[in-house]
């Protein structure tokens, strides 16, 4: 028979568990009993999407980044505009460039079929971002889960919180610091640009006006990005292996072949030069820092406990 002290200890233990749930600590096993096949469902759909279009891995990763930097990792970027709010999709950093929403819709539909009203869109996006990286040859990491979904979104917050392609190094460092991320985290997370494409309008100024750009590289990019017009023309963010997640992005920076002004700022006589050099020659160090920074980014102000909701459709509140 349990003693009084045993019962008190057990009650205190349960209280601690309850407090942890209320305080919203994320856990990799959050859906262990309620949706045990979640990760395989997400991975299967992401594999289909990336096999169909390798760029999609980068697009989903960017969605996750743009979600987390605006009011936390709450799935708000996935919301369509309504009569009561203008959301993030039409904000400057996202308009005509944020993509992959249909892939998240598909994953959500598959997850709902297996585990109805259980898994948040925010968590689906976090898992899909990780899987896109892995499917393109990058490192894996343990995704913390238990986020809930926002019921509203803010265009103005997206316009003010997301660093742009023309950002200086000090602007990049400060915008990441505002989210609790260090300069090292920022430089590691910028390595996401080892995959994906960018629109001419985001790199035109760099290749035409900046001095810290390789001349032959600038000439190559100008072929598909005229000084006016062609704003939507695409170029790979990583000149060498645009559909493989590796450390070539940093090798490009060392020889002044960064596509965006903000990319080349990481290697331009400033505080991050030595780290870029290290990443360019040591992929293991880059992979370790990138995965650690992704976990930190995924923990930016999540909605947990009774906050937010589990949206049944990622595009709209219930």
Q: Which residues are catalytic?
A: 66
To the question of whether residue 193 is assigned a binding role by annotation, the answer is yes
Separation CA 130–CA 107 (nearest Å): 14
To the question of whether residue 295 is assigned a binding role by annotation, the answer is no
To the question of whether residue 88 is assigned a binding role by annotation, the answer is yes
Separation CA 303–CA 292 (nearest Å): 21
To the question of whether residue 67 is assigned a binding role by annotation, the answer is yes
Asked if 146 and 30 touch (Cβ cutoff 8 Å), the reply is yes
Whose tokens are 């997301």? That residue is 162
To the question of whether residue 72 is assigned a binding role by annotation, the answer is yes
To the question of whether residue 74 is assigned a binding role by annotation, the answer is yes
To the question of whether residue 210 is assigned a binding role by annotation, the answer is no
How buried is residue 104: exposed, middle or buried, by Cβ count under 10 Å (0-12/13-18/19+)? buried
Separation CA 158–CA 95 (nearest Å): 11
To the question of whether residue 206 is assigned a binding role by annotation, the answer is no
Separation CA 63–CA 148 (nearest Å): 17
To the question of whether residue 93 is assigned a binding role by annotation, the answer is no
Q: Which two tokens stand for residue 288?
A: 């370790």
Beta bridge pairs of residue 197:
236
Sign (positive/negative) of CA torsion 309, 300, 263, 125? negative
Instruction: Tell me which H or E stretch contains 147.
Output: none
To the question of whether residue 194 is assigned a binding role by annotation, the answer is yes
Instruction: Tell me which H or E stretch contains 235.
Output: strand 234-236
Annotation: binding site for substrate = 163
Annotation: binding site = 67, 70, 72, 74, 76, 88, 163, 193-194, 238, 241, 246
Annotation: binding site for heme b = 193
Annotation: binding site for Ca(2+) = 67, 70, 72, 74, 76, 88, 194, 238, 241, 246
């Amino acid at each position: 028979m349990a003693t009084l002290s045993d019962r008190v200890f057990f009650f205190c233990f349960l209280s601690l568990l309850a407090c942890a749930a209320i305080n919203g600590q994320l856990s990799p096993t959050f859906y262990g009993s309620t949706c045990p096949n979640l990760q395989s469902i997400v991975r299967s759909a992401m594999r289909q999407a990336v096999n169909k279009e390798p760029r999609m891995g980068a697009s989903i990763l960017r969605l996750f980044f743009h979600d987390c930097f605006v009011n936390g990792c709450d799935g708000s970027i996935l919301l369509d505009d309504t009569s009561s709010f203008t959301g993030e999709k039409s904000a400057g950093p996202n308009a005509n460039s944020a993509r992959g929403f249909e892939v998240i819709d598909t994953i959500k539909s598959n997850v709902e079929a297996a585990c109805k009203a259980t898994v948040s869109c925010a968590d689906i996006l976090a898992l899909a971002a990780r899987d896109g990286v892995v499917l393109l040859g990058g490192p894996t990491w343990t995704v913390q889960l238990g986020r809930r979904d926002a019921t509203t979104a803010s265009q103005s917050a997206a316009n003010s919180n997301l660093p742009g392609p023309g950002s200086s190094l000090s602007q990049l460092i400060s915008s990441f610091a505002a989210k609790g991320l260090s300069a090292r985290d920022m430089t590691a997370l910028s390595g996401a640009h080892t995959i994906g494409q960018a629109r001419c309008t985001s790199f035109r100024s760099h290749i035409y006006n900046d001095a810290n750009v390789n001349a032959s590289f600038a000439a190559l990019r100008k072929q598909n990005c005229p000084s006016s017009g062609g704003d939507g023309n695409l170029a790979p963010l990583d000149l060498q292996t645009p559909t493989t997640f590796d450390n070539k992005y940093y090798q490009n920076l060392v020889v002044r072949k960064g596509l965006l002004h903000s990319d080349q700022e990481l290697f331009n006589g400033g505080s991050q030069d030595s780290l870029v050099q290290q990443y360019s020659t040591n992929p293991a160090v880059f992979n370790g820092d990138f995965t650690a920074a992704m976990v930190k980014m995924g923990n930016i102000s999540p909605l947990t406990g009774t906050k937010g909701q589990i949206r049944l459709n990622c595009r709209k509140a219930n």
